[in-house]
Chain A
């Protein structure tokens, strides 16, 4: 019963996918490339968009204004600030940076009505890339992913197969970072791998 493949690499904390991913590798010409982005920081940032003090403070702490346009993500270096609701953003940052970012936000937002919640472990990120990445997403996602409609910098909170996800497109390949709740990650990983079968799948570390 127990899948013993892919235990956590030494020195790292476990992720929901460690025992699911299996061997790294696959054909170079695969249409689908999958990997897990281990333990990226994730903060839910709440505040009112018409509160100038909040926006100024958040912009100062993040280095970029939280996007006001739905279904978009602002990026600064490797950090992405994803719009998730009119008064809610998900800040995704390099592993280990979340605590510092949280305190920077807390001090910049002192005195405003806001909330910051560390949800770094609530979900994990599956990176889906490759020439067939869009076709794989389309198998389980009902929103229009055509490049005329959904391109680099755009994000969506929606259903992918039977999991709720947040994803954003970050290059023209196309490549997507898909945030999925930890307990749904094994399901979604297996689903994506299976959906990619007809295009060839490569797993990267």
Chain B
């Protein structure tokens, strides 16, 4: 059983948490402009790597706050925990972020449109 360090409540057993899947999947701003295939990249496709994985968790039996986590899916080692809306700060986290095929998808570009980035 994982011991997850809630940024607010401190270390708690994983049964207090809800797993929210891959992190940093941006919701398209103008989804109507996307093809079904491009939208499916956003909706269904997950990275599922063996190794460092950026993912979302919620401490839903505690403070109910969402946060991001970098976890090695092969060893369950937790490498970084950081707030919603922010990018990872560790080297491993940044590498995992950059390596994701999603960074190049039409869905992500759609989500970023108008953000100037």
Do any beta carbons of A and B sit within 8 angstroms of each other in the complex?
Answer: yes
Q: Contact residues of A with B, CB < 8 Å?
A: 70-71, 84-86, 88, 142-143, 156-159, 164
- A85-B8 CB under 8 A given contacts A157-B62, A159-B61, A164-B61: yes
Verify A158–B61 contact, CB threshold 8 A: yes
Give B6 Cβ to nearest chain A Cβ, in Å.
Answer: 8
Is B63 part of the contact surface with A, judged by Cβ < 8 Å? yes
- CB-nearest residue of chain B to A164: B61
Q: Contact residues of B with A, CB < 8 Å?
A: 8-10, 12-13, 15-16, 61-65
CB within 8 Å: A-B pair count: 34
Verify A158–B62 contact, CB threshold 8 A: yes
> Could you tell me the dominant secondary structure of chain B's interface residues?
loop
Q: Which one of A157, A159, A164 lies within 8 Å of B9 (CB-CB)?
A: A157
Verify B16–A159 contact, CB threshold 8 A: yes
Verify A86–B63 contact, CB threshold 8 A: yes
Residues in chain B near residue A84, CB distance under 8 A = 63
Q: Tell me the bound Cα distance from A159 to B13 in angstroms.
A: 10
Q: Tell me the bound Cα distance from A101 to B23 in angstroms.
A: 41
- CB-nearest residue of chain B to A166: B62
Q: Which one of A71, A86, A88, A158 lies within 8 Å of B16 (CB-CB)?
A: A158
Q: Tell me the bound Cα distance from A142 to B13 in angstroms.
A: 7
What are 13 A-B pairs with beta-carbon distances under 8 A?
A: A70-B10, A71-B10, A84-B63, A86-B63, A88-B63, A156-B9, A156-B62, A157-B61, A158-B12, A158-B61, A159-B16, A159-B61, A164-B61
Q: Tell me the bound Cα distance from A71 to B15 in angstroms.
A: 18
